[in-house]
Chains A and B, each alone.
Chain A
Amino acid sequence: MSTVAELPAGAGPAPAEQLAARWEEPRTVRAWFTTVDHKRIGRRYLVTASVFFGLAGVSAILLRTQLAGPEAGLLSPQEYNQLFSMHGTAMIFLFATPMLFGFGNFLVPLMIGARDMAFPRLNAFGYWVFLFAGVFMWASLPAGAAPNGGWFAYVPLTDEVNSPGLHLDVYTLGLLFLGISTTAGAINFIVTALKLRAPGMSLNRVPIFVWAIVATSFMVLFALPALNLDNGLLFLDRRFGTHFFDPEAGGNVLLWQHLFWIFGHPDVYIIVMPALGIVSAVLPAFCRRGLVAYPLVVLGVVSISIISFGVWAHHMFATGLPQLSLSFFSAASSIITIPSGLQLFAWLTTMLLGRLVMRAPLLFVIGFIVTFVIGGFTGAMFALTAFDQQVTDSYFVVAHFHYVLFGGAVFPILAAVYFWLPKITGRMFSERLARWAFWLIFIGMNVTFFPMHLSGLFGMPRRVYTYPEGLGWDPWNLLATLGSYILAVGLLLVVVGVVHALRRGKPAADDPWGGDTLEWATTSPPAPYNFPVLPEVHSLHPVWDPRTAESVAAGAPEARTLAEGRQTIRTSELDARYEQPIEMPESSLRPLVAATGLLVVFGGLLFDWYWVAAGGGLLLALTMVGWLWPPAEPT
């Protein structure tokens, strides 16, 4: 099983040269702004999301420092409110999803044997919108106008009367702005995975990571509208005096919570699902065997994405919903542990049956399994309505969701950073540094968040900027704060490791881990056109499969070289039969201009400058007219 068939680098020099001429971009400033290469865009997503992670992390360190002891005066209550709201909002919306979309962007076309995403310019547009929306939100913090109503911004706390100022307008508009990017990205992933898979990659040969990204994208398409609507209505209520959330005039505050959690629960899986996909991608390489029970894992992925829409009200057990609906949501919430458990057992069995190679990425995967199981355990406790009502809004909840989110997203993301760093940068990292980072992060993470279970059970509420002495909370808070410093050092070591690899790292082999998916079949880093010959896929583990290797050897048919133009192959949805080559767009400034138009729209809305907003809309519309204009006849 584990014989690694080396794929030859290309089909002779001539097509490679032709391809380079069509795909390579000049090293100019203009090219930097106009690129549509999914690999560059993917890298930008990764870097930008990491910066937002850093900002949200610094906010968290400030929060923990304030809470280290009773009655501390580092932060004012107003500052504390803004910092925890920005921390939560940024971690969820500006870090977790974009980071995973970054890996998706870089990897999905490579894993399915394509030359780019289905809509490369939309992809560039999505990145610029993400960047602008992130800056839009973070810029409010130094201005003292950052969101301050928590990451789920419940009304009536967040209505105009109770939260005057721009804070919540930054929140609603920022998330609406960002939603455009997320939606565009989701559509792009689905269409790419549906239509651009290499010939022969029928659905039962699609890597789990791609499945996970596609399932996530579907969840985005069906969950995000609820959040967008919620934010749109809140903005209208606050700015234009409508009454959706105003009980005085027939509105209803619970509408906010319903819409928010119809989005919010699937969002937990939107964050965790691609991370689980990462785990399924990393394991085979370090267990020297394919993932056990592939069809069951795929089934698990798909069923999670469906069931997760039926459980939202478990976030509202304390709002006085009818008893029967509580029971329903409680049951549904318990059922969803089954497909999650299924994946867990598939990984454990893979590890049991394989030969483990203990390298940094695998360490992070194991760290993930440990923390995620603890988080899942406390999660199952919440599914019991009675327990939930005891600990709701306490630090127990904070402990729980950090075990799930840090364990379920950050550990896999770090595994992914180390796993794909050689492919992305073409450099190997220092294993020693990586191990130090792992242990500091693993220990720091547990020392930070485990004590919060206890302070929560002892009654400490979340979102308090300080607390009096002598309630029995002091030692646990001090411990948590110390843990967060250890954690911060560990995370810094990751950055050091990446910079070190870029500067000093040894050149990476094309396939340093002996991975099984197609990204390992091309050079590290990949050429702008990804593959000189687009492969024909014969199994679930194309790189371990000699027939697939043969398909890219010299003498491959012109139909899979496509060196004449800037093209990739379109195949049929289910069984990936060859349909036709399709023309891919050249680089363009339009995505950036369109995103700038949107930035003007949202800036104008924020500051009441409606004519400016209209001008931005016009810029956007005019750009689209040119963008979508039918191209000249092919010559």
Chain B
Amino acid sequence: MRGGVAAVTEPAALATELPAGRSTGWWGMALFIATESTLFAALLGSYFYLRFQAGPQWPPAGIRPPELFLPLIMTALLLPSSLPLLWAERGIRRGQQWRLRAGLAATIALGASFLSLQAMEYASSLEEFTFTTDVYGSLYYVITGFHGAHVTIGLLMLTWLLAAALRGKFGVRRHERVRIAALYWHFVDLVWAAILFTVYLSPRL
């Protein structure tokens, strides 16, 4: 249609050719993460508020402090799961489709194993207490369940990225969505550290 110089300097072309500064999408996700972090902060804050108002014994009588074995394995799966994603993002910046796909697949696998271990954990703790047993049970299941829901949403986003990646939708200059979704995953990932501390480690302190 238009030839030569015009084709690359006219605004429509420039819009997709020249990444400069942070995009609106990046800011949107950053702000969304800010408000979600506040939500988790309020939730974990409520945990400590209720715990310290509940009296000296925590967990309350009849419930043992949480086992650490499984949660530590889950941590070992989830925290490093950001690395393949970073590697994938670097890859697509250089146009390496295979790295994007492989990295996404690896992160998805790690996240999915995390969720299955969480299911196993629930299976054993449900034998001891449920979310209606007392406030400890309510906190335990709601906090971990809420985080689990975030991991699930993160996984859906990554799967969606993988589907688009397999269709070759991303390229050297067109991978904003990868960057933004990755941001969310790193957040879900980091929140787990705070949950590990609050729910699993702090009762033993």
Contacts and interface: CB of A to CB of B under 8 A. Distances in A.
Interface in B20-77: 20-24, 27-28, 31-32, 34-36, 38-39, 41-43, 46, 49-50, 53-55, 60
Interface stretch (B6-14, B111-119, B194-202): B6-14
Given A221-B34, A244-B135, A572-B21, A250 B28 contact: no
Interface in A251-265: 251-252, 254-255, 258-259, 262
A387 interface: no
A225 B38 contact: yes
A191 B27 contact: yes
A630 B39 contact: no
A246 interface: yes
Contact of B50 (A183, A255, A570, A625): A255
Contacts of A262: 42
Interface string A158-186: 00000000000000000000000001001
B160 A242 contact: no
B16 interface: yes
A119 interface: yes
A249 B177 contact: no
Instruction: Name, among B11, B21, B43, the residue most crowded by chain A CB atoms within 10 Å (CB to CB).
Output: B11
Nearest to B164: A630
B18 interface: yes
Interface residues of A, number: 57
B134 interface: yes
A564 B13 CA distance: 10
B27 A580 contact: no
Contacts of A26: none
B120 interface: no
B184 interface: no
B11 A558 contact: yes
B28 A630 contact: no
B49 A252 contact: yes
A630 B16 CA distance: 13
B156 interface: yes
Contacts of B23: 195, 570, 582
Interface in B165-198: 169-170, 174, 177
B142 interface: yes
A122 B27 CA distance: 14
Interface residues of B, number: 50
B205 to A, nearest CB: 19
Contact of A567 (B12, B21, B138): B12
B83 interface: no
A187 B177 contact: no
Nearest to B178: A630
B151 to A, nearest CB: 15
A53 to B, nearest CB: 27
A224 B53 contact: no
A118 B50 contact: no
Contacts of B11: 558-559, 562, 564-565, 567, 581
Contact of B28 (A119, A236, A252, A567): A119
B20 A580 contact: yes
Contacts of B109: none
Given A229-B46, A625-B160, A222 B15 contact: no
A228 interface: yes
Given A255-B46, A625-B160, A119 B38 contact: no
A242 B46 CA distance: 14
Contacts of A614: none
Contacts of A241: 131-132
A385 B42 CA distance: 27
Contacts of B43: 229
Interface of B: 1, 10-16, 18, 20-24, 27-28, 31-32, 34-36, 38-39, 41-43, 46, 49-50, 53-55, 60, 131-139, 142, 156, 160, 164, 169-170, 174, 177
23 contacts: A118-B27, A118-B28, A122-B28, A183-B35, A186-B31, A187-B31, A187-B32, A188-B28, A191-B24, A195-B23, A225-B38, A225-B42, A226-B42, A229-B39, A233-B46, A242-B138, A244-B46, A250-B54, A579-B21, A580-B21, A582-B24, A629-B169, A635-B1
Interface of A: 118-119, 122, 183, 186-188, 190-191, 194-196, 221-222, 224-226, 228-229, 233, 236, 240-244, 246, 249-252, 254-255, 258-259, 262, 558-559, 562, 564-565, 567, 570, 572-573, 579-583, 621, 625, 628-630, 634-635
Q: Which 5 pairs of residues, A with B, have the shortest CB-CB distance?
A: A250-B135, A242-B138, A225-B39, A221-B35, A581-B11
